[in-house]
Amino acid sequence: MTLFSDPADLHSHRVRLVLAEKHVTTDIVDVDPLNLPEDVMDLNPYGTAPTLVDRDLVLFDSRIILEYLDERYPHPPLLPVDPVSRATFRMYMYRVEQDWYSRVNTILGGGKPATKARKELKESLIASAPILAAKPYFMSEEFSVVDASIAPLLWRLPYLGIELENKSSNIFNAYAARLFKREAFAQSLTEAEREMRL
């Protein structure tokens, strides 16, 4: 199995985190998203990272990759077993992407749109604090693919110029500490990501 991964990208990071949680041996090839190798361009019609190659199977959407890994390597399970809960967690992942990841991309783009996106992301995170306070992990007693999607975002908050205040800060700090102390999280970090917190 080979993962073509952007060492600074949220989507690639969450795939690396799930691979580490599952203890899946993978060749991880760091790629520059602006100068992708021919291999990736031949495999992936969209020319994006992450791109996962498992024998004859090629996957290039991070949510699909996460679900495939959870089904292919069922232990530990990172999605619930029952269909209703699985669908609910898939919706949470979708919302993380739409509500949070999309704003990160805007912030990284800079300019006036970045200022607005930074404010919106901060407000959205603060609004979600009560959910994170309810259980050790996102709406769950166990680490899930939703947590694997949120952890890379929380890691990047200082880099994005976002600081949460007051009660929200305490909730997020406690939640982030649980995520960041996981062995798999440390293994998932690239050098570029480590530098984001220096």
Do both 25 and 40 map to the same domain?
yes
Average pLDDT of every residue of the chain: 94
Q: Which pLDDT value is given to residue 152?
A: 98
Do both 119 and 51 map to the same domain?
no
Q: pTM of the full predicted structure? A: 0.94
Do both 103 and 174 map to the same domain?
yes
User: pLDDT over 90 for what percent of the chain?
Assistant: 84
CATH of the domain at 10: 3.40.30.10
Mean pLDDT of 154-161: 96
Do both 59 and 97 map to the same domain?
no
CATH of the domain at 88: 1.20.1050.10
Do both 116 and 157 map to the same domain?
yes
Q: Which pLDDT value is given to residue 59?
A: 97
CA distances from 85 to 78, 80, 91 (A): 12, 6, 10
Do both 89 and 139 map to the same domain?
yes
Range of the domain at 114: 83-182
Do both 177 and 91 map to the same domain?
yes
Split into its structural domains, the chain has a count of 2
CB atoms within 10 A of CB 184: 18
Do both 89 and 16 map to the same domain?
no
Do both 131 and 171 map to the same domain?
yes
